[in-house]
Structure 1
Amino acid sequence: MTNHDEAATVRPLTLAWVRRHLEADERIVGAEVLHGGATAEMRKLTVGARDGGVRHLVLRSFVDPTRQGPAEDLLHREADALTTLTGTGTTAPGLVAVDPTAAHCEHPSLLMTHLPGRPVTDDGGLEARLPLLARQLVAIHAVRPAVRPREYTALSTADTAVVPGGADAAAWAAAIDVIRTPPPRYEGRFLHRDFQPGNVLFDLPPAGPAGAAGARISGVVDWAAASWGPADLDVAHCSTNLALLHGPEWGPRFTEAYQEAGGTLAATAAARLYWQVRVPLAFSEEVRWVARPWQEAGRAELTVRVVEQRLNTYLTSLMDAPG
């Protein structure tokens, strides 16, 4: 097996497990690290057949503890989500095999098919990509699974929010008070729970900006947090990511685009605000972790300080918006 770099080396037990799930005439001929993930090691495996055919698989291995919960739970959820999404309007990787308890591998692992395309985190072309992202999220929320996934969990509380230095203290205090109240009642939907530009793959034209005519979404990845809950939560998550990645004005614009695409949010302004501010308050606890994948993707200007400033501006704008 040829590795593009030493870090791509697949551990022996995991390699043997992967081989057991290949066709009889196939072998692994290469592996490379996929960057951008924040919760697991990701490797792209090149699989060759005797007739010269080549295909690619993706191996996800949880090596370290995660903020989202036990690896076993995350891999069960991802495997169930990939099975649920088969044949729907959302293109997701196909499940090949899963070892959630590391019964066969060195670490809990999942093997899936590789999708074409790449994430786009550049500012250029965002105007054209925004409605594509919105329509994709509406399609995800339209999925009706035969077996409902577990209810969403909120990993942050009013007491764990971290107010950035120089932030609008009054606005942050008011936002924190909002999430001290019980969650609003909601109509449940199938949620991705980490729908954002880093997990959406685009098939781009050979030339031109990333939002040029002809760009299309080729798939959505990273379903380890798939849950059941309010559509507002997914919308708020993507809106917050866009606000930090591209500028605070893009958060509300995504919310509008989602509704223009046919998506439905909470019926009252108070309920919508609850979900809108819950996500940026959660982000306040892990700004460094949020910024790192963007920096690795080439957005070096998105320092922790810049992201904190955008987070403050975005949260303040939510609290100042007319109800």
Structure 2
Amino acid sequence: MTDHGEAAAVRPLTLAWVRRHLDVGERIVEAEALRGGITADMLRLTIGTRHGATRDVVLRSFVDPRYVGHAEDWLNREADALTLLTSTGVPAPGLIAVDPTAAHCEYPSLLMTHLAGRTVLGDEGLRTRVPLLARQLVAIHAVRPLEPPREYVTLTTADTVVMPKGADEAAWAAAIDVIREPAPPYEGRFLHRDFQPGNVLFDVPPSRSAGARITGVVDWAATSWGPADLDVAHCSTNLALLHGPVWGLRFAEAYEEAGGALAAAASERLYWQVRDALACSEEVRQVAQPWREAGRTELTTRVVAERLDAYVTALMDARG
């Protein structure tokens, strides 16, 4: 990419900031927008080295006015998480630099290393990937920071749930009643807080889904301290919407099979499962759009809402 193209892709102040964090003799030769994010703009920058090789880094910038107010907190949490994870076996990007208050860039930004692999959102090979996701989440929950991140936050309330058109009203009313109760006690764990297939990178050999392996976990801006059940519930909801309710129910089993520990009481597990599913009711459109852009064109807002209804109903039916 020419210098003119480079400047057009990366804003001037941000460009200067990125350059300050490159090695001597390096330059940006290409910039490519990465899809799939909801809150931030993502660019993959290809860096030409002085020896003629290239390497990639990723620039994350909060541009949307709806999210800029949260950027300082989110970027600081992500920077802290990436620093912590360098001493663990969790495959996360390496932190290069962060400007959480836009002191140097046009917008709050973070620069990190690029991980190999790609997100895989299709149904093919899912039976292989679900146990891999479960084992990876168990490894994340095993991280023990010296200073835990801030406690988890849930914004959904019984009064803000958005019942999909045509939903099973009795099942949803019962589910809403579940989250009217106080949160169950829990043993704190290090949470990713947005662990789901869209934030996990895979290497999948051609025609060999059984040989898939996880190469990275990204988007650590919501890292929190809270119950393992909450991360498990979030991934379960996403699997249910991507692949059908049965896979949402299956993930909790896979997590336990991988050595993870969930709440002992079924009622406590249900609380976290329902809380995350109902939280998704407020953002079905935002969730569905990146999936369609990634190739799951059949996942319209209506289809995702119908799957959410089916999942909530399945959770309530599973109570016995």
Normalised by the shorter chain, which TM-score bucket? over 0.9
Report the more deviating stretch, 60-69 or 188-197. Answer: 60-69
Q: What amino acid is aligned across from residue 260 of structure 1 in structure 2?
A: E
Specify whether residues 35 and 84 from structure 1 end up closer, same or farther in structure 2 by C-alpha distance, changes over 3 A only: same
After TM superposition, what 4+ stretches of structure 1 lie above 2 angstroms from structure 2?
Answer: 5-8, 65-69
Cα distance in 2, alignment partners of residues 146 and 7 from structure 1: 41
| Aligned match of 1:208 | 207
Deviation at 1:87, TM superposition (A): 2.3
Matches within 5 A, 1:41-60: 41-60=41-60
Q: Contact 1:140 / 1:192 at 8 angstroms: preserved in 2?
A: yes
Cα distance in 1, alignment partners of residues 221 and 89 from structure 2: 19
| Aligned match of 1:242 | 239
**Aligned Cα root-mean-square deviation (Å):** 1.7
Deviation at 1:204, TM superposition (A): 1.6
| Aligned match of 1:227 | 224
Cα distance in 1, alignment partners of residues 305 and 100 from structure 2: 35
- Three-state SS of the structure 1 residue aligned to 2:211 is coil
| Aligned match of 1:311 | 308
Matches within 5 A, 1:291-306: 291-306=288-303
Question: Any gaps of 5 or more consecutive residues in structure 2?
Answer: none
| Aligned match of 1:191 | 191
| Aligned match of 2:163 | 163
Q: What amino acid is aligned across from residue 258 of structure 2 in structure 1?
A: A
Specify whether residues 138 and 8 from structure 1 end up closer, same or farther in structure 2 by C-alpha distance, changes over 3 A only: farther
| Aligned match of 2:281 | 284
Q: Contact 2:93 / 2:218 at 8 angstroms: preserved in 1?
A: yes
Deviation string 1:239-292 (CA, Å, 9 cap, x unpaired) is 000000011110011110000000000111111111010011000011000100
Q: What amino acid is aligned across from residue 90 of structure 2 in structure 1?
A: T
Q: What amino acid is aligned across from residue 219 of structure 1 in structure 2?
A: G
Deviation string 1:198-242 (CA, Å, 9 cap, x unpaired) is 00000121x115xx2321000100000000000000000000000
Deviation at 1:155, TM superposition (A): 1.8
- Three-state SS of the structure 1 residue aligned to 2:105 is coil
Deviation string 1:135-167 (CA, Å, 9 cap, x unpaired) is 000000000012210001002111100011111
Cα distance in 2, alignment partners of residues 67 and 278 from structure 1: 23
Q: Contact 2:6 / 2:31 at 8 angstroms: preserved in 1?
A: no
Deviation at 1:129, TM superposition (A): 0.6
Cα distance in 1, alignment partners of residues 106 and 51 from structure 2: 32
| Aligned match of 1:24 | 24
Q: Contact 2:277 / 2:312 at 8 angstroms: preserved in 1?
A: yes
| Aligned match of 2:125 | 125
Cα distance in 1, alignment partners of residues 264 and 148 from structure 2: 23
- Three-state SS of the structure 2 residue aligned to 1:249 is helix
| Aligned match of 2:138 | 138
Q: What amino acid is aligned across from residue 310 of structure 1 in structure 2?
A: R
Deviation string 1:52-91 (CA, Å, 9 cap, x unpaired) is 1211000000001446961100000000000111121211
Specify whether residues 87 and 260 from structure 1 end up closer, same or farther in structure 2 by C-alpha distance, changes over 3 A only: same
TM-score by length of 2: 0.97
- Three-state SS of the structure 1 residue aligned to 2:273 is helix
Q: What amino acid is aligned across from residue 307 of structure 1 in structure 2?
A: V
Q: Contact 1:2 / 1:31 at 8 angstroms: preserved in 2?
A: no
Cα distance in 1, alignment partners of residues 282 and 33 from structure 2: 28
| Aligned match of 2:268 | 271
Q: Contact 2:62 / 2:68 at 8 angstroms: preserved in 1?
A: no
Cα distance in 2, alignment partners of residues 62 and 127 from structure 1: 35
| Aligned match of 1:70 | 70
- Which of the pair is proportionally richer in helix? 2
Specify whether residues 38 and 104 from structure 1 end up closer, same or farther in structure 2 by C-alpha distance, changes over 3 A only: same
Cα distance in 2, alignment partners of residues 309 and 8 from structure 1: 41
- Three-state SS of the structure 1 residue aligned to 2:32 is strand
Specify whether residues 285 and 7 from structure 1 end up closer, same or farther in structure 2 by C-alpha distance, changes over 3 A only: farther
Cα distance in 1, alignment partners of residues 271 and 288 from structure 2: 24
Q: Contact 2:68 / 2:108 at 8 angstroms: preserved in 1?
A: no
- Number of equivalenced pairs: 320
Q: Contact 1:68 / 1:155 at 8 angstroms: preserved in 2?
A: no
